[in-house]
Structure 1
Amino acid sequence: MESKGIVIYGASSCDIEPRYMEWARATGRAIARSGFTLVSGGGRGGLMAAAIDGAKEAGGRTVGVLPDFMMKRGWNHRGLDSTLITTSMHERKKTMADLSCGAIALPGGVGTLDELFEIITWRQLGLYEGNVVIANAYGFYDMLLAHLKHTDSERFMRAHGLWTVAETPEEAVRAVSADLTIYDIGDKY
């Protein structure tokens, strides 16, 4: 059976409102129910953990990618089906992208924004072909989206086709999985 991955980016902090945790958990369930493997940073807390837990609840497969320093600190989610260890944060992001055929950015801080902007940049340069979805849970990304619209209108970028915005977990999974190429994760790692 072929396996395909959707990478999720999201906060590792547990000090956030529970509604965001449930949104992430529902995203994990939706990914699993759609037959995708959930690929993530593999963290044991925050939205990453909630999405992993949701995928596991729905019978899905989960892959976490962590740099060795995070593993040494015990920051990994213990329920992952597979854990890949990298030597750096850069290698971590590349590995997560390589394992995925689409990306969803859940709410998060600077680490999530770093991952989101890098994958959008790679898409713009033709280095990443998967769909990118900004999960605008409870309007979390409204101000960022306004800034991106401003950046586009001032012609600092051409935003058309680089990402989609989703307002629900199910919409995020539908948008990210539209017309994706199927491949077996086992062939990559």
Structure 2
Amino acid sequence: MKGIVVYCSSSSSVPSVYLEAAREMGALIARSGYALVSGGGYRGLMAETIEGAIGAGGTATGVLPHFMLERGWAHPGLTECIDTPSMHARKETMARNACAAIALPGGIGTLDELCEMMTWHQLGIFEGPVVIVNTDGFFDPLIDMFDRMMEQGFMRGGIIPARIVSTPSEAISVIREAVEHGA
């Protein structure tokens, strides 16, 4: 089964609109026949995506560095839990197990993962689509920054190496088109 990696916040102290969109994202991934691959955390948007996928009859693979497992940070409902030696190995493993990547709202960790996947996509290391779900305009300031990078010549090609959508259902549509039809 093809996996879709979802990068998102482990914080639960966020507006409910983000938590609801994360649960919907997990459910849509499962209903679309994909496996969820995530950071595997037991809180926040990470937990919501896992619970959405499992609740819709799907699978959820969590990828956690050993130190996080030792601290008990893994979601108890994971279908599979992959133990990695480092944060870098975690990101590599998540990408290797996915045909597409989605970024939901999150903090600096999410931003790190998103930017690395966009870089890998631009370099041809990761060939699947990278999709930013701009729930409630969360990523608007980042999108403005990407536009500035292009205007100032810091980003090649004149396009952001990610698709930007507003809803989880749009993200799945973009991924289906790209993965199943090579668009």
TM-score range, shorter chain: over 0.9
Partner of 2:54: 56
- Identity in percent: 51
Partner of 1:143: 141
Runs of 4+ in 1 over 4 A off after TM superposition: none
User: Cα–Cα, structure 1 residues 55 and 171, in superposed 2: closer, same or farther, change >3 Å?
Assistant: same
Partner of 2:99: 101
Q: Give 1:103 deviation, angstroms.
A: 0.3
Alignment of 1:6-85 (within 5 A): 6-85=4-83
Work out the number of aligned pairs and report it: 180
Alpha-carbon distance between aligned partners in 2 of 1:168 and 1:11, rounded to the nearest angstrom: 17
Q: What is the letter of the counterpart of residue 104 of structure 2?
A: L
Deviations 1:18-67 (A, max 9, x none): 11100100000111111000000000001010001001111111100000
Partner of 2:177: 178
Partner of 1:184: none
Partner of 2:150: 152
Q: What is the letter of the counterpart of residue 21 of structure 1?
A: L
Alpha-carbon distance between aligned partners in 2 of 1:152 and 1:133, rounded to the nearest angstrom: 18
Q: What is the letter of the counterpart of residue 130 of structure 1?
A: G
Alpha-carbon distance between aligned partners in 2 of 1:19 and 1:121, rounded to the nearest angstrom: 29
Could you tell me whether the CA contact under 8 Å between 1:104 and 1:176 is conserved in 2? Answer: no
Could you tell me whether the CA contact under 8 Å between 1:131 and 1:177 is conserved in 2? Answer: no
Deviates more, 1:156-165 or 1:42-51: 156-165
Alpha-carbon distance between aligned partners in 2 of 1:68 and 1:94, rounded to the nearest angstrom: 15
Tell me the C-alpha RMSD between the 2 structures: 1.3
Q: What is the letter of the counterpart of residue 132 of structure 2?
A: I
The structure showing larger relative contact order (alpha-carbon pairs under 8 Å, at least 6 residues apart) is 1
Alpha-carbon distance between aligned partners in 1 of 2:178 and 2:142, rounded to the nearest angstrom: 27
Partner of 2:166: 167
Q: Give 1:138 deviation, angstroms.
A: 0.3
Alpha-carbon distance between aligned partners in 1 of 2:12 and 2:178, rounded to the nearest angstrom: 34
Question: Which segments of 5 or more consecutive residues in structure 1 lack a partner in the other structure?
Answer: 182-189
Question: Does residue 1:86 correspond to 2:84, yes or no?
Answer: yes
Partner of 1:75, secondary structure, is coil
Q: Give 1:107 deviation, angstroms.
A: 0.1
Alpha-carbon distance between aligned partners in 2 of 1:113 and 1:83, rounded to the nearest angstrom: 23
Could you tell me whether the CA contact under 8 Å between 2:61 and 2:80 is conserved in 1? Answer: yes
